[in-house]
Structures are given as C-alpha cells and as structure tokens.
Chain A
Amino acid sequence: MAGHASRAQTAPIDLGGALLLIAVLGAAVAVPYCNLVLPPSSPWHVEGWVVQLLGKYLCFALLAVSVDLIWGYCGILSLGHGAFFALGGYAMGMHLMREIGDRGVYGHSELPDFMVFLNWSELPWYWTGFDLFWLAALMVLAVPGLLAFVFGWLAFRSRVTGVYLSIMTQAMTYALMLAFFRNDMGFGGNNGLTDFKDLLGYDLQADATRAGLFAASALALVFGYLACRRLVTSTFGQVLIAIRDAESRTRFLGYRVEHYKLVAFVVSAMLAGVAGALYVPQVGIINPGEFSPANSIEIVVWVAVGGRGTLYGAAVGAVLVNYAKTYFTGAMPDVWLFFLGGLFVAVTVLLPRGLTGLFRGVRGPSAFGRGAAGG
C-alpha cells in the first residue's frame, strides 16, 4: 500500500526529527546550565525537581521511540514493552544496590537490606558481578535483548502476528510482574529496589549528578532516535515497512520476514532497557509495578497520541502525555482521569495520525490501519 518511498522516508533526518534533535540537544546543554550555573534568583533558573522531572520525560521519550520502531515501522504492537524497560531498570537498580555497600540500614557489607531482612545468607548467583558498572551496563542491554530474542524468535518463527502477538507480549509482562512481586525471587518483592546512594561515586542526591543524568538521558534519546532513524531509512527499513504493509507478500518475494522482525524487536527492546536504566537513578525506585500490563498499554498510548511511524512523534507524545499527567494530578486530582481518558479517545477518533499529524502534510506514512493490524 504505502509502497513507494517518499523523500521523508529516506532522508537521513526529516523536519520533525531535526526539530526534536535541536530541542533535545539544546535542553541537554541549557537545562543543566540553568540549574547549576544560574543563581536561584535568576528568572531563568531551573529548579532541581524540574530537572529530574524532565529527565524522566526524556527516558519515557526514548521508550516511546523504541516502541514506535517496531509498531510504526514493522507493525508489531507490543503490549509488553514495559517489561524490557523494567528489566533494564532492574539491572541498573541492582548495580545501585551493590553500590550502597555497607551503608544500608543493617550495615551488611554485601547483602542489600531486604535480603538481610529475609534471612538470606549470601547473594544469589544472579547478583554476582553487578557491583561492576560495566557488567551492569552490559546487562542493561543484554537482558532485555536476550528476552526479546527468545520471545521474538519463537513468536516470529511460528508466525504469531497481530493481535495474538500483542496479547502474548502482554502475557509475558504479566508473568514477569507476578514473578518479580514474589519476595523469593530475590529482587525485593513489592518494595522493589530503593534507597540508592550513588552512581559511579557521584551522589545521586547532588544537583550536579542529576543534571548529568539529565544530559545523559538527552544524549541517549538523541542516539536512540538517530539509530532508529538510520535503521528505518536504510534498505533494511524499507523491508520492515513492506512487512508492516503486506507481510505475506514480502515473504513471497523471498525475504526472511522473521529475521527482519527479530532484529527490529531486539534493537527496540535494548533501547527500552537503556531508557529503564536511565530512569531508575532519576526516580530512585524500581518496583514490579513497572511490569504491569497497564503501564505497557500507556506507552503505546503515548506513541499513538504523538503520531506513529515518525519516531519523533512518539517522543513528543511521551513528553506531552506525561506532562499532562504531572499537571492534572496536581491541579485537578479528582477528575484528571476524565481528561486523560478523554484525550486518548479524542486523539484516536479525531487525529488518527496523532498530534504531530496536525503539522505533517497529507503525504508521509499513510493507511496504517489494515497493515499495522497484521491479523
């Protein structure tokens, strides 16, 4: 259907993407500057909590971009992407727990507080090595990547598509949520991992660390966006789009559809893991609630609100929806769900191409519905 490649689909960067990159890179410099250098009296001073909040939004934006890569360009609607995000977060959280060392409540040199408390005598084997940052960083990529590889390999090979695939990803994240809620798993149960002290020796409570994490999140978003953009504008990306629009036809043309999907799925899961790893030190907690199916649905909603199949739209959607949530839960705590729910309904019915679709021309990715459904 959307067979021929328009210029916007092959150019290294489209206009929306360029604007996004400029904004994020600008923020990566300006926000830490306004926070750290400008005196609090300055009208341009940015307070610490705003920096943290913006950092959180950027992590969500990266997560949304990763979902858009597979949904917008490959027609895989994952209702379980929160799982990859949370796994990345847990990997980072485990490192942060080990960093606490003997500064925990019970002063144990090796075991985190919750293990001391539940009478564990030694670290379970899967915690070994997480005191090394490089290993934890590797795990942030490897664990979500591996899960995505195994899950995707099974699912794509046996041609589980469309709604079936979506529900299976939901089952996956739901099963993981139940598993992580169990205290016997050794991940802190419902309380999750919390009470972090520092990262690479930098105090997490310090303004400079926060600004640094913000800048890191911004750079990760830029990098993630560029990587995805590179992927979808290459020949590889053209095949992905072909799969999205007509999977059987692509297969009949001789492409190994499942390989293309698998690569996109694994890359996307790894990006989600990075987003999770950056998110955890900024919010200070990782808990099995991040695995909840509702969370994953929300991620998809961000992408839809921003506009699918554009990458930058996903990022914009994530920031806008989360800003709305921050604002409404404070300003009108009793009725904010009406607004949020209404926004989702209105966007899907009135703006099928999302908010950024308002500013896009009539060209560009079109005719999503049938293709994206896949089943």
Chain B
Amino acid sequence: MRTVPVRPGPAVPCGLPAAARPIVRLCLVALVLLAFAVPAGATTDDDQFAAAVDALALGSYNDRVAAIEALAALGDPRAVAVLEALMARDLYTRKDTGAVVIGAPADSRRQVRPVDPVTGTIGEPVRTRSLAKIRVNNRVRRAIRSALGALTLADPEPARRLDAAQAVFTARDPDQLVPVRRALEHEADPDVRAALVQAAAAIELAAGSPAERLAAIAVLAESSDPAVQALLSERLLDRDGAPVEPDDEVRAAAADALDRIEQRIAMWRLVGDVYRGVSLGSVLLLAAIGLAITFGVMGVINMAHGEMVMLGAYTTFVLQDAIRTHAPGLFDWSLLIAVPLAFAVAGLVGIAIERGVIRFLYGRPLETLLATWGLSLILQQAVRTVFGPTNREVGTPDWMQGAFETAAGITLTYNRLVIIVFALAVFAVLLAVIRKSAFGLEMRAVTQNRRMASAMGIRTGWVDALTFGLGSGIAGIAGVALSQIDNVSPNLGQSYIVDSFMVVVFGGVGNLWGTLAGALSLGVANKLLEPTVGPVLGKILVLVAIILFIQKRPRGLFALKGRAVEA
C-alpha cells in the first residue's frame, strides 16, 4: 500500500449551496496544498505527468476524456488534485504561456492564484481574464468521476471509497478486479466492504468461470439494488431477447436470484410509496392545520388561508436575504429563526383581518368566504407588487440536504423527513395549546357558547382575534416548510387552498385529530394510487372517494357529537 496524503474529507461540503461555496473553495485550496505537502511516492517522472496534464487542455471533449483516462492510468496521486480542479471548473490554461494551472481563490473575485499542477508552487495572483477555463460537460465529468474512482479506492475517507467502489461496479472493468480484491483485504468499513464485494461479483459475473459466476450470483442475490436486478436480467436475456448466459446451471441460479431480488424490491417500493404518502400527508397537514382552526373551530371559511401560507414563505425569503447580507454564519439556522417570525407576521396579518373585516361577519359564515376571497386577491397582488411576480429563491440549509438511501434504491430525502417531523411537532404543540392552556380553554368556550362565555367574563372579541391570529400564524409556519419544496411565488397559496379544505372536511370540521387522520390518509391514498394510475387520475379518484365518503358520513371521519354541530 502506498501512503496517501491525509486530507480533509471533501465529501461533505463539496457541491453545496451558494453560501457554502467560499468554504468549498477554501477546502479546495487546502486540498491542493496538502496533495503536495506530503512527498508522495510518485510513480511517474514530472515530465510525463506534466505532458499528461497539458493534454487535458487540448482538443474536443472526446480528446479530453482520453486525456483524463491517460492521466488516471499513470496512477500518480497528484492527478487527484488536478482532476478535482477540472471537475470544479478551476482548471485553466494561461493565455500567455499556454500552461495548465489550477486556480486557487485569491482575495478578489476577479483574480485567482495559479497553482502549478506538477510542483504545487503557488504563483502571484493573476487576473481571471488572462486565463482560459478548460470546459467540461457531463461526459467529461463522468470520465473524471470514474478516473477518480480508480484513484481513490484507497482513500482514507470511507465515503469516497464507497463512491469508488460504486464506480467500479458500474464500469465492470476486469482490470479492476485485482485492486478491488486488494482493497477488500484492508477494508474495515462494512458499507464499503459490501459495495466492494458486490463490485467484485459484478466483474466476475461478466468475466469469470462458471463456478466463479455461480459464486458471484450467490453474492448478488443478497442485494436489493435495482442496479443488480438490471445486471442479472441483462445476464439472462440480451436486448433482443436471446439468452446471454451459456451455462444452464448458472442461468437457473441467476433466474432464481433475480426473483428474490425482485420480491425484495417490490416490498421496498411499497415502503417507499407509503413513506411518500406520509410525506405528502404531512405537507397537507401543515397546509390544513391552520385552516382547522380558522375554519374548523371558528367557522370562518377563510379563502385567504393560502395567502397566509404564502406570507410565511416570503417571510422566510426576506429573513434569508437579510441573513445572507448581514450574518452569513447564521444561514444554517435561518429556517428555525423563520418559524417564529413567520408565525408573527402571518398571525398579525390574521389579527388585522379579523379585527378589520371578519368580526363584522360572525353569524354569516358563508359571507366570510366572499370577504376573505377579496382579501386573498388583495394579498396576492400586494406580494406581486412588492416582491415581483417571479419565483424567489429560498435556500436549503446543509443539514436538510441530501437523502437517506435505503435498500432497493428508495430514497428518503432529509427535507421531507424534516417536514414530517415538523408537521407532527406543530400538530402536537397546537393540540397542547388548545387542550391545556388557559387561552385554549377560553377559545373552546367562546366557540361552543359565545353568550355564556361572555357572561363568564371572557373577552370574546379578543379571543376571536387571537384564535384567528393563531390559525393564520400556523399557516405562516407552514409557509416556512413549504418554501423548501415548492415555488415561493404569489401563487403559492392558491395551490393548497382546495386541498386544505378537503382535508379539514374529510377529517371532520372542528376536530384536530380528524385533520391529522384526514391529511395522512389522503396523502397515502394518493401516493399508493399514483404508480398504477398516474398522478392525475389518482387525484381524481381520491376526490371522488371523498365525495362518496361524505355521503356516508356527512360530518367527516371524526364528527363532533352533540347539538353544537347544528348551530
């Protein structure tokens, strides 16, 4: 084993959002420097290496791919820094000398510090204009990644070794079998080990003897990766339907393994669909839960509810904007800070609406529909006037990015996971407020019997205003979450209003548990139907089912009992 210089693991911060880019640049410099800091056991002489690097700058994308493969074939550890720079579009040719240099960030954005790829010497900053960027496209990037895979099988960072093993699996190059075996001897990380074993099996399946192929199939049969499924089915039948595998025994084993894998994948798919359903349900829950207060508890048909959600999303946008300019370090916390702010903004607007318009309409619930419809038009146009009609970018903090890969290629994304947890948390808090707090008690008293509550000394007017503010504020919080998965535009609220009403009515007006059950069951039903009938038909079927269900249970899933309902 060669000793390879230790460097900070770039797997975490690379390729991440705008705010993180300076950090990536810094880490790149460190990376470049470290690559040269430790005298690596260079297997090539400098001239050969320099020639291979210079070849990167020449010719078409085709030539560049060839040059990358040639450079990687040298096996020189210095190539890693060069290829990573090329990947990040930080590799340049000097317009004056034609030499290839790595651009390390300088103090000014218009300048870079040229780093000599062979010696690692850092030059004086030069203007970017004097350099020509070496262009890459997807194909070149893919070649780089595969080359890096071969070079990084022995990388100290497990995540990169995993990438490398996966690259070998995809490439299925018989030449890689020996390095993979060698890597397996030392590999301690279980994930990487599994990937390496799978990669070795994939190579042997393609190129081994019948016995080796059988052994390989036994290894592969334990996988539930769709890529393995594809690999095995290709081994069985080629594109025109002719069998590929010559040996009968091996073919039978492969067919058997394929069956088992397919069963496992089908099971995981179902798990995935349910997860997506719960995730959609949590979005519906967030969108509807505020409405469950304003509409469900107070009886106000609040057509401006969607606009409260939109206000929450725009609050997040404004806050992130301020954070970016004044306190970039807080960016990771921006969403958490946005939650109380959005609650306050939407809540205050809600209170203003209640005091200004809705309080004149109690006892005329259907008329609240008209007034709030007018308000929603006004709010939309106001946002359009202030922020413009185009989408606004709300960034995602690092901790919400990425996904959790389960077996069978089902991806559970972190942002959805966060939203599910968040929705449930909001639900729990709201439930606690209504059940346990003094305000919750007054609120229930006023909605159940206004006159008596008033006679008991409750200021019903204020309770009304605060209740409406609470419902609106919750909608604002929903806006913070929705800004992570949807457009932040003046139309944001409109797309959720019909669904929100559906959820509340389906669950049972005036019952928070009903809203929870309604949202989750609608979400899961939609997502279970979608793979078979498509999203539109699925949605139509769910709507028709709701209409029919309401005939059966005119007051929804969880109907309130007693005479209060009839009022």
A-side interface residues toward B, CB under 8 Å? 77, 151, 154-155, 157-161, 163-164, 166-168, 170-172, 174-175, 178-179, 181-182, 248, 293-294, 297, 300-301, 304, 334-335, 337-338, 340-345, 347-349, 352, 368-370, 372-373, 375
Contacts and interface: CB of A to CB of B under 8 A. Distances in A.
A368 B370 CA distance: 15
Interface of B: 295, 299, 301, 303, 357, 360-361, 363-371, 373-378, 380-382, 385, 494, 497-498, 501-502, 505, 509, 536-537, 539-540, 543-544, 546-548, 550-552, 554-556, 565-566
5 contacts: A158-B550, A172-B547, A175-B543, A344-B373, A368-B364
A179 B360 contact: no
Contact of B544 (A175, A334, A340): A175
Contact of B498 (A164, A170, A335, A337): A170
A337 B385 CA distance: 11
Given A297-B373, A344-B370, A345-B371, A337 B357 contact: no
Of A167, A179, A293, A335, chain B has the most CB atoms within 10 Å of the CB of: A167
Given A163-B299, A164-B556, A344-B373, 10 more contacts: A158-B554, A163-B301, A174-B498, A178-B539, A293-B498, A294-B494, A345-B357, A345-B378, A348-B371, A369-B364
Contact of A304 (B357, B367, B539): B367
A171 B366 contact: no
A344 B378 CA distance: 10
Contacts of B555: 164
Contact of A341 (B381, B554, B556): B381
A337 B381 contact: yes
B363 A171 contact: no
A349 B361 contact: yes
A336 to B, nearest CB: 8
A178 B547 contact: no
A338 B546 contact: no
B366 A166 contact: yes
Contact of A301 (B299, B364, B370): B370
Contacts of B536: 178-179, 181-182
A186 to B, nearest CB: 14
A349 B357 contact: yes
Contacts of A77: 366, 369
With a 10 A CB-CB cut-off, give which of B301, B367, B497 has the most chain A CB atoms. Answer: B367
A167 B554 contact: no
A161 to B, nearest CB: 8
Contacts of A300: 369-370
Contact of B366 (A154, A170, A294, A372): A372
A155 B540 CA distance: 18
Given A163-B509, A167-B502, A349-B357, A369 B381 contact: no
Nearest to A71: B366
B374 A175 contact: no
**4 closest A-B pairs by CB:** A344-B374, A341-B377, A369-B364, A341-B378
A182 B536 CA distance: 8
Nearest to B537: A182
